[in-house]
Every structure is written in C-alpha cells, then in structure tokens.
Chain A
Amino acid sequence: MTEKSPLEKQRTKLAACAALIVLVILSICIGAGEFSLAGFFHDPDARQLFAVSRLPRTIAAVLTGAALAIAGLIMQALVRNRFVEPSTAGTAQSAALGILIMTLVFPAAPLAVKTLAASVLALAGTSLFMMTVHRLPPAQPYLVPLFALVYGGVIGAVVTFIGWQTDLLQFVGIWTNGEFSGVVRGRYELLWGIAIMAAIAWWVADRLTVLFLGRDASVGLGLSYQRTLQLGLVIVSVISALTVVIVGIVPFVGLVVPNLVSRILGDNLRATIPWVGLSGATLVLGCDVLGRVLRYPYEIPVATVMGVVGAALFLRLMFIRTAHG
C-alpha cells in the first residue's frame, strides 16, 4: 500500500491533536445542564457543574479511550493478530463475570476490592484465551478472531445467564453497555489506575515491539518471552477490568484505533503508543459527545454510538486492506 510522506504524517498528527482539543472543549460545554465558558468565570453554579460532572466525565472518556486503544494494541501484539481486542476476546466479559460474582457473594465489598476480583478473572479468562490461541494453526490467521468472538460470546452468555437467574440483569446491563452519564466526581477516580497501566505499557514499549516480532525473534534477541507475555496480560486485564467496572464495555476502540495508527505510523510501539492513546481518546470522546447531542437533552450510551461508528470504521479498514491485497 502507499505510504504517507513525513509531511502528511505530521499533518495527520496535528489534526488528531486539534480534534481532541476541540472535543474536550465541546464535551465540557455540552450537556443537559446550562453551561457556557463565559459563565465559568463568574457563575459558581457553572463552576460546580464543571467540577462535579463535566470535567470528570471528560477525563473519564479520555482515559477510557486512550487505555482501551492501548490495551487493544497490546493484545494484538500478544497474539500477533490484528483482529482481536479485549472487549470481544473474553477479557471484558471475564471482568464482568468477576464483578457479578463479587456482587452476588460479597455485595458489601468496596469497589476497589470488586475491581480487583474483576481484574483477576479478566487475567484468568485472557490467559486461557492465549493458551488456546497459541495452539491454533498459525497459517490460518482468521481463526483467531473467530475463536475470540465465540470465546467472548460464551463467557458473555454465562454472565447474562447468571444475571438473569439472580435478578441482576440490570447491573449486567450497566457493565456490558458502556456509558459515561454515571461518571461524576467521587465515582470515577479508580479510572486513574488505567492511566498508570498505559504508562507502564509505554515504559516497556520496546519489549512489546519485540514481542510483536514473534517468539523465535524474541528469544533470539534475549527477551524474557514468558515474562513479557505475562506483563502484557496483566496490563490488558487491569485496563479492561477497570473500564468494565466504572464505565462498562466499549466495543471496537481496541480493534479500530491500533489498526488505523499502525497503517500510518507502523508498529514501533515506543513511537506509536502515544498516538494510539490520543486517537483512542479522540474516538471515544467524540462518540460520547455525539451520543449527548443526537437526542438532546436525552443521551445515547457511548457503547451504542461506538458500535455504529466503530463498525463503519472497521469495515472501511477491511476494504482498504483488500484493495491493497
């Protein structure tokens, strides 16, 4: 396929930055409550609205988008397949199972403990997925996303079944259908944990890049393959679990964004992780803002908007890929 010139790449990066800044401002201004940037300076109510709702919501969308995109990228490096992401491959569903079990067994446990349990289950579910995927014939890369869909679907069905049996379907809906309307000050701060995870991912970016080259190349370059794999699994699981607990499952971000960025900037993760994060943040915040204005003053959950936007982007990616062989 044709490659973009350095100038075009520079332009694309600038456009992504500008889009994010515009969206942040829009996200702060748009909502059911009256708010204007001018009012912010002399109206204490506006400042209150800003601090309690708009700012947390914007931060949450940015963090979620960035981290989910990075988690998708890491997962693709772990299984060396471009068509998987945590929200379809069972990681997010396992996390939902974890928090569902905690809600049933220890309903009084603090949110942090429940999140920890969700992370542990996400780790177990993803590890099982990885072990199975590594046994699939490498000559058939499309088996991996197919298996991922089935695997994630089965775990998701278990979650729904338990939820139905125990009259917790409403909660299940909250975890599996991501939205930001519940994000207010005091209820999203755990999300900063995913920023830490994303920072760790950037810190070990070179090791992840080597991992992307495959097991033999990793061993040949003296990388401790198993340990890097495990670290990647932990990062993916914690990011997924935290987003499921606080926001709910947001599909497609981890699939579409890494593919788009890789197409333009490649897979040297040290250089691309910031752009993957920024693009993911832009996409999720954009979908959230769209969800807020489409039926104003009512809201459409970000997961629903992303389902449509993400699917369209994904189809486009597929067609570009086919067109270029």
Chain B
Amino acid sequence: MIEIENVSLSYRDVPILRGINLCLPKGGITALVGPNGAGKSSLLSLIARLQPLQTGRITIDGLPVDTAPSRQLAQRLAILRQDGAVASRLTVRELVNFGRFPHHQGRPGNDDLRLAEAALMQFELQALSDRFVDTLSGGQRQRAMVAMTFCQGTDYMLLDEPLNNLDMFHARQLMRSLRAIADERQRTAIIVLHDINQAAAHADRIVAMRDGGIIADGTPEAVLTEDNLEAIFGYRMQITQLAGKPLVLHHL
C-alpha cells in the first residue's frame, strides 16, 4: 500500500502540491488525470523519491520513501518518467535487462535473463531487441522503456504518460497488457493519463487533480460526471455509455 499523508510541494514559492492525502492499496490500476500543471508528475516523482519531500510523509508498504534504502525501494517500486530520453546507446535487450538491476546489481542470473526475455515478448519487442534505442522511433522507444519498467518486477509501477508517442494500436495494447498484469499478477499500476477514455475503459479507480489538489477520487463511473469533468478541465463535455463504460466526448 502506498500512503501519502499531507504532502505539499512548492518550487520558488509557487505551490505545486497542496496537502495531498491519498491511499493507494495494492492491486489494480489507478489513473491520475487532470489538466497540465495539476501536479500529477510531481506527485509521482515524490512517491518515487526522485525529488526530496518538503512536507508530509509517503510510505510504500510501510517503508518511508525519504529514509528507506534506495535499493530496497527499487525492488518494490518502478517509475517510468515522462521525459525518458535515453542518451546512451543500449540495445533494447540491454535496456530491458537493466530493469533487473535492483535485483542483481549488474550480475544477472538466469532468472533475470528469462524475465527480460518475457518482458520483450510481452511488449512485442523481439524484432527490435538488437537495435540501439537511439535508432528507434518515439513510440518504439516508449514501448522499450515501459518494458524496462515492467521488467523491474516491482509490486508498484508508476507510469507517467506511458501512452506518449504511441499509435492507437500500441496504446490499446499497452493498456491491455497493464490490465492483464494487474489482474493476473496482482501488480499495482498508477498511471498518469491524458486520454480520459483510456482511463474510463481500463482503470479501476480515477484520481483527478487540479491546481495541486485532489478534486475527485473514485471508480470511473463515480468520477466521470459532467459536473466533475467541468470542475477538472474547465469546460462541459457530454458523456455517454458504451459497452458498459463511460465514454467522454471531450473533443466535441
């Protein structure tokens, strides 16, 4: 369980997060939605200890993120950053293998190699596995990064806009893979999503943020109402139902 208590963050006196309290139990997919600058990415990077905590407290399975050993946290929690540009020339296979680093510290065992191959297979990267990451297209690179995060084998995965650069086919594929991983292996995914309909279709829970605070939290059906969406994004949009899921006509 990830527990976030009273977390605030400001950058040069500009408040970014205001007193966030959130409890994310193990299992399932939680979608973080909200307009640009709502503080979603900042919240993820605080949970993943990429930034120091200013106030409040965050624990992962009881381990405080600011004091627990980094390696121990890396075995429980993986993060995919939004700007995951890879400056170095690794092949896709090498990159995905480095997802296992927290477990083997550079001396991969047979299990690690097997898990990396499984991740390549899961995200359909076998054909690309010997290509250098910097020769791939943005979407292919994004899939490689997701596979690396997945390969870390943690109970919790924080994914910051994983659908960036992906075409519709691969976006759908990725969300389905995450759904399968959550259902079959009881792993937890916390995903920043801009496509609200992907959230509606695949998430168990939607947490909506705006101006550094949480303004709605619940199942997709509970959060995706016309009033809530107007409060979050600042304009009214129609909502219909399709195949038993809410469908937001946000583009009309």
Binding site for B on A (CB under 8 A): 1, 3, 77, 80, 205-207, 209-210, 212-217, 219-224, 262-263, 266-268, 270
B98 part of interface (Cβ distance < 8 Å):
yes
B105 CB within 8 Å of chain A: yes
* CA–CA, A262 and B89, complex, Å: 7
Task: List residues of chain A with CB within 8 A of the CB of B86.
Answer: 213
A266 touches B89 (CB 8 A): yes
Whether the Cβ atoms of B101 and A210 lie closer than 8 Å is yes
Q: A206-B101, A221-B152 are in contact. List 9 more A-B contacts (CB 8 A).
A: A3-B131, A77-B88, A206-B98, A206-B106, A209-B88, A219-B48, A222-B73, A223-B101, A266-B89
Partner of A209, one of B72, B90, B107: B90
Bound-complex Cα distance A213 to B107 (A)? 18
Q: Contact check, B87 vs A216: say whether CB atoms are below 8 A apart.
A: no
When each residue 18-55 of chain B gets 1 if its CB lies under 8 Å from chain A and 0 otherwise, what string results? 00000000000000000000000000010011100000
For chain B residues 38-94, which have a beta carbon within 8 Å of chain A?
A: 45, 48-50, 69-75, 78-79, 81, 84, 86-91, 94
Taking a contact as CB atoms under 8 Å apart, the answer to whether A216 and B50 are in contact is yes
3 shortest interchain CB distances as A-B pairs: A222-B74, A206-B106, A222-B71
State in angstroms the CA–CA spacing of A221 and B70 once bound together.
8
- Inter-chain CA distance A77–B89, complex, in Å, is 11
CA gap between A1 and B135 in the complex, in Å:
7
Contact mask B212-248 → A, CB, 8 Å, 1/0?
A: 0000000000000000000000000000000000000
23 chain-A/chain-B pairs, Cβ below 8 angstroms: A77-B88, A206-B105, A206-B107, A210-B98, A212-B87, A214-B87, A217-B81, A217-B84, A219-B49, A219-B50, A219-B70, A220-B50, A221-B102, A222-B71, A222-B73, A222-B101, A223-B101, A224-B71, A266-B88, A266-B91, A266-B132, A268-B90, A270-B106
Whether A266 touches B70, Cβ cut-off 8 Å, given contacts A220-B50, A223-B101, is: no
Considering the chains assembled together, what is the distance between the CA atoms of A16 and B154 in angstroms? 42
- Asked if B135 and A222 make an inter-chain contact with CB atoms under 8 angstroms apart, the answer reads no
Name B102's closest neighbour in chain A (CB-CB): A222
- The interface residues of chain A lying within 8 Å CB-to-CB of B105 are 206
Once A1-B135, A206-B105, A213-B88 are accepted as A-B contacts, the answer to whether A220 and B79 lie under 8 Å apart by CB is yes
Question: Chain A: which residue is nearest B86 at the CB level?
Answer: A213
Residues of A within 8 A of B94 (CB): 266, 268
Q: Chain A at the B interface: mostly helix, strand, loop or mixed?
A: helix
The reply to whether B89 and A205 form a contact with Cβ atoms under 8 Å apart is: no
If over half of B's interface residues share one DSSP class (helix, strand or loop), that class is named, otherwise mixed; here it is loop
A267 touches B90 (CB 8 A): yes
> Which residues of chain B are near A214, meaning CB under 8 Å?
87
Residues of A within 8 A of B88 (CB): 77, 80, 209, 212-213, 262, 266-267
> What is the distance, in angstroms, from B67's C-beta to the closest C-beta of chain A?
14
Chain B residues with CB under 8 A of A215: 50
Interface residues of B (CB under 8 A from A): 45, 48-50, 69-75, 78-79, 81, 84, 86-91, 94, 98-99, 101-102, 105-107, 131-132, 135, 152
Bound complex: CA of A215 vs CA of B81, how far in Å? 11
> Which residues of chain A have C-beta atoms less than 8 A from B74's C-beta?
220-222
Q: How far in angstroms is the closest Cβ of chain A from B68?
A: 10
Min CB distance B88 to A, Å, is 4
Bound Cα distance from A1 to B131, whole angstroms: 11
- List the B residue with the shortest CB-CB distance to A1: B135
> A84 CB to closest chain B CB, in angstroms?
13
Q: Tell me whether B131 and A222 are in contact (CB under 8 A).
A: no
Contact yes or no, B70 A222, CB < 8 A = yes
Cβ contact within 8 Å between A213 and B98: yes
Q: What chain A residues lie within 8 Å of B73 (beta carbons)?
A: 222
Which residues from B are CB-within-8-Å of A224? Answer: 70-71
Tell me if A216 and B81 are in contact (CB < 8 A): yes
CA distance A215 to B70 in the complex (A): 13
**In the complex the two chains form, is B106's CB within 8 Å of A207's CB?**
yes
Q: Is the CB of B87 within 8 A of A80?
A: yes
B69 to chain A: which residues have CB within 8 Å? Answer: 222
The docked-state distance in angstroms from the alpha carbon of A271 to that of B71 is: 24
When distances are taken between beta carbons in the complex, the residues of chain B under 8 Å from A220 are 48, 50, 74, 78-79, 81
